[in-house]
């Protein structure tokens, strides 16, 4: 990846034989690396593959074959682009917990630290991740906090919540909202801080895990565990039934309204 070229020559392949080509990726910074794997095949006896329409060959397959002087195909090329995307080391992080009573709504700030983000002369290799939840902030965050860009605006971030299963996604996906409200960079350490606003509005008690995945457009992936907890809802009402006498039935009526069809 680091601008090195590796050649594997003299490999003989029998008809329908498979060839495994190992590719080793060892990133030292959190940025995407690009390379191509080029396979050049020639006949063992040195002869060319005949091809009748040399003009069409040169026009449509110029980058895929090497043509001999007589118009035949001397070699065939397969070109495979490879993108190396580094991922921050997985550690036993304490999940950022978002807790709310069922049938209520809560907003929380989640702060994550990204190490080794490029560009930046002082960016360091990725060594740790961390995520914290600030529960002391007011609910109306968007009106108070302005998004600030303390480094090049070309550095953008993509983010999403990933769930353990499709069932968890169907349960939690519609109950959680998230957007990035602030980002800043420490010029000395190169650490980027992202602050997300998380909205959680559960409709029933639950306990589900998720992973906040952040990807920088220049390359690099960071993952942060999260835990969403919905506790028992408040009691709707208290129904009192007054006895009219011993061994006699007492009846009280009340209405239930369905929230769905």
Q: What's the pLDDT score for residue 48?
A: 86
pLDDT tens track for 226-243:
999 999 999 988 999 999
**Please, are residues 36 and 81 in contact by the beta-carbon 8 Å criterion?**
yes
What is the 3 state secondary structure string of 169-194?
HHHHHHHEEEEEEEEEECCCCCCEEE
Q: Which two tokens stand for residue 169?
A: 């996604």
Enclosing H/E stretch for 67: strand 65-67
Tokens 């220049």 -> residue: 218
* Stretch 75-101: mean pLDDT: 87
Tokens 């028992």 -> residue: 232
pTM value? 0.66
Output the CA angle 194-199-203, nearest 5 degrees: 150
Q: What's the pLDDT score for residue 38?
A: 86
Q: What are residue 185's DSSP bridge partners?
A: 192
Q: Which two tokens stand for residue 57?
A: 């060959």
- CA 224, distance to chain mean position in Å, is 10
Tokens 């998230």 -> residue: 178
| DSSP helix/strand/coil, 43 | coil
Measuring CA to CA, which residue among 205, 212, 195, 211 is closest to residue 137? 195
């Amino acid at each position: 990846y680091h601008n090195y070229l590796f050649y594997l020559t003299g490999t003989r392949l029998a008809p329908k034989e498979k060839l495994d080509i190992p590719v080793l990726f060892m990133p030292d910074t959190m940025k995407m690396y690009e390379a191509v794997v080029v396979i050049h095949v020639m006949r063992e006896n040195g002869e060319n593959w005949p091809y009748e329409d040399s003009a069409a060959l040169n026009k449509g397959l110029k980058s895929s074959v090497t043509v001999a002087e007589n118009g035949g195909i001397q070699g065939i090329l397969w070109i495979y682009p490879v993108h190396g995307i580094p991922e921050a080391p997985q550690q036993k992080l304490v999940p950022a917990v978002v807790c709310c009573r069922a049938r209520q709504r809560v907003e929380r700030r989640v702060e994550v630290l990204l190490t080794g983000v490029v560009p930046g002369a002082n960016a360091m290799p990725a060594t740790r991740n961390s995520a914290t939840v600030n529960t002391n902030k007011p609910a109306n965050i968007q009106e108070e906090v302005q998004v600030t860009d303390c480094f090049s605006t070309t550095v953008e971030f993509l983010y999403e919540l990933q769930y353990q299963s499709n069932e968890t996604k169907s349960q939690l996906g519609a109950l959680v909202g998230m957007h990035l409200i602030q980002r800043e960079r420490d010029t000395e350490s190169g650490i980027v801080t992202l602050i997300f606003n998380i909205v959680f509005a559960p409709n029933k008690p639950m306990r589900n895990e998720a992973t906040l995945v952040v990807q920088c457009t220049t390359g690099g992936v960071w993952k942060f565990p999260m835990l969403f907890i919905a506790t028992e809802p408040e009691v709707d009402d208290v129904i009192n039934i007054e006895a009219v006498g011993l061994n006699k039935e007492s009846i009280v009526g009340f209405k239930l309204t369905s929230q769905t069809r």
